[in-house]
Amino acid sequence: MADMQKKLLVVESPTKARTIGKYLGSDYEVIATVGHLRDLPKSKMGVDPEDNFRVDYEISPDKKKVVKELLEGAKRADSILLATDPDREGEAISWHVKWLMENDKKPVDSKKISRISFHEITKEAVEEALKKAGDVDLDLVDAQQARRVLDRMVGYSLSPVLWRKVRRGLSAGRVQSVTVRLIVEREKEIEKFKSEKFYRIFAEFKSGENVFRAELMKVGEQRVHKSQKLELFDGNYTYSRTIFEDKKKAEDYVKTLSDQYLIDKVSGKEVHRTPLPPFTTSKLQQNASRRMGWSGKQTMSVAQHLYEKGLITYHRTDSVYLSDKAVNEFRSYIEKKFGAEYVVKTVRHYRNNSKNAQEAHEAIRPTSVSNLGEDLEAREKKLYEMIWKRAVATQAAAAILKNTKVLMVNKDGLFESSGVRMMFPGFLKITGETYEDQILPEMKVGDKLKAKKTAAEEYETSPPPRYTDASLISSLEKQGIGRPSTYAPIISTIQIRQYVDKDEGKFKPTSLGVAVNQYLVTNFDDVLSLPFTANMEEDLDKVALGKLDWKKMMKDFWGIFEKKVVTATKESERVKVEVEKLGKKCPDCKEGELVIRVGRFGKFISCSRFPDCKYTAQFKELAGFKCPDCGGEAVVKKTKKGRKFYGCANYPKCKWAGWKKP
């Protein structure tokens, strides 16, 4: 009997290795690289523009043991299968593994090495991929290399300039700098905005146990509400106010009204509401931010675990496509669980909006509709349920709602009241959402209603909101900046670098972020513009599709960028980081003033004469509430990764801490 052929399967993570290992026989050895094995060196740029952008990769010091294990495994194997993730990063990891094997002291025959790819870790998907083993996609590898090289060259070129012109120890990134610019520009727009008070007029009615309201919409032929549009750096912001700009004018108008309202028009129509498409990476991060307050990094970390355990399809995707197999599973499940009337009559398909979405890739969905994720830990369960409901609901019938609108007349005032009533829940039965609004009683034209009260209520125009994780990712996606795998690290990096703070879930630039942005925009405006950054992303997509040579792309970019760096280094003016003064003299030198600076671990007190005077002291930023445990002052603190939390000023005597204000 012939010996069984030994096969080596290479993946990135130990969890993925364990999951796949369960599906394969004893003739397979599965080894995890635990991420990239080779990368650009930390001590130098590692790219030579003069030598056709030659890249000097080196084995990461902490990966030498894994590399040794892989090379030994390769020698034992009759065939080697590279099964890293189905994206640019995964393709690059496979390429590096192959290069190491082919360039070992005892090289592995390249004919023994093949690439397999799958978008879900299930027995069927892995077995299907094994039948279609092919080669590493060098176009995807080039796209990953191009992004890595591009970002390294920009970072290594800009950082020394920032050291000279802003402050020592700073670093800059291509897409991170544009993201900081979005946040800084939004802050400027907020500061510029002048809030104005205005008044809305409501009539309140009672019908049985129900109370409903109607709002004044017209006075004679004049509309009460008026919209105003602001041109923002990344789009438009529309806000509304009314013609009643002062309290007296509003109250004087209310006095002209009686308490009797005449029903002028009653209209009702059925509205069919359809489910949203299944999740893409961007939409998953946005929803997790809005519903659970999670950062993009947190969402992607949990999604990674779900993917590696074989519970969801690959979580880095721009596509809303669902396979026929998944669609049929969802439809059968809905019919069995809720009844045939809850299944949409014809299969519901969604159109991809992303330019680079590949139809072969699927949206994020459960790999098995029957797995309800009951055994998962709390965070994984929350995210899995969200993914499960959104995907399964795509094949459910539309929800039918009845929208009722009632117009009432009082003197020259036209009031409007609207209500929404659920007629058939459809897909809402799966998602658990509700769209019911205030319930209106039966009314007909000519009826008269007596109001409990009619009054003017004060409102204020609001400035454009600060970015949250959700709205920032949405803006990056809309502008064509970054890609699914980059949103989370971009936002994480700008916080670690102390360029932005996150307070109560909203981003605000630090004084350091404002100074760095001011310098970069003054001297590199076109490179840090939204259109330029979006065009670079499109070029990277062309590289991935084999339509553009990555070295030509780099040459075109570097020719412009290098000249700007040289000019900025010689001619640009230094930008000063604004510091907050405490109004006290330095206790050491008696000359300087005490100021608040931002360092690696957050804010600290320093002398304004630094570096001549080296005085520093701990800064305690009061949080504005008392410690719930001991009653002492609560202070704002930061983790090593820049995440803000609250603690007690009496630490270590009192160890209370929390992410949110109690």
Smallest CA-to-CA distance from 584 within 603, 608, 602 is with 608
Alpha-carbon gap, residue 79 to 81, rounded angstroms: 7
Decide if 119 contacts 313 (C-beta within 8 A): yes
Residues ≥6 apart with Cβ < 8 Å to 554? 49, 53, 146, 149, 150, 153
Q: Is the pLDDT of residue 637 over 90?
A: no
State in words which class domain 145-193+466-571 has. mainly alpha
Query: Catalytic: 519?
Result: no
pLDDT at 596: 85
358 band by pLDDT with thresholds 50, 70 and 90: very low
pLDDT at 515: 94
Residues ≥6 apart with Cβ < 8 Å to 521? 181, 528
Q: 3-state class of 222 per DSSP?
A: strand
- CATH superfamily of this structure's domain 283-393: Topoisomerase I, domain 4 (1.10.290.10)
Mean pLDDT estimate for the chain: 92
Left (φ > 0), alpha (ψ -120 to 50) or beta: where does 366 sit? beta
Q: Is the pLDDT of residue 587 over 70?
A: yes
Instruction: Report pLDDT digits (tens) over 320-339.
Output: 999 999 999 999 999 999 99
Q: What topology does CATH give the domain 7-136?
A: Rossmann fold (3.40.50)
pLDDT at 591: 86
Q: How far apart are the first and last CA of the chain?
A: 71
Instruction: Report pLDDT digits (tens) over 266-286.
Output: 999 999 999 999 999 999 999
Instruction: Report pLDDT digits (tens) over 22-39.
Output: 999 889 999 999 999 999
- Cα 342 to Cα 325, 330, 334, 338, 480: the distances in Å are 19, 11, 7, 6, 37
Residue from 199, 261, 307, 314 carrying the catalytic annotation: 314
Tokens of 147: 């992004």
Least confidently predicted of 164-168, 379-383, 552-556: 164-168
Does 197-274+399-460 carry CATH code 2.70.20.10?
yes
Least confidently predicted of 169-178, 338-347, 395-404: 169-178
2 band by pLDDT with thresholds 50, 70 and 90: very low
DSSP 448-465: EEE-SEEEEEEEE--PPP
pLDDT at 256: 96
Residues ≥6 apart with Cβ < 8 Å to 383? 288, 299, 302, 303, 306
Average pLDDT over residues 560-581: 91
| C-beta atoms surrounding 478 within 10 Å | 13
Question: Which ranges of 80-224 does DSSP label H, i.e. alpha helix?
Answer: 88-102, 123-131, 138-165, 174-192
Give percent of the chain above pLDDT 70. 97
Sketch the domain layout of the chain as residue ranges: 7-136, 145-193+466-571, 197-274+399-460, 283-393, 580-658
601 band by pLDDT with thresholds 50, 70 and 90: low
Q: Is the pLDDT of residue 341 over 90?
A: yes
User: How many residues does this entry show for the chain?
Assistant: 662
Side-chain half-sphere exposure of 244, counting CA atoms within 13 A:
22
pLDDT at 645: 86
Instruction: Report pLDDT digits (tens) over 147-196.
Output: 999 999 999 999 999 999 998 888 888 999 999 999 999 999 999 999 99
pTM for the predicted model, two decimal places: 0.88
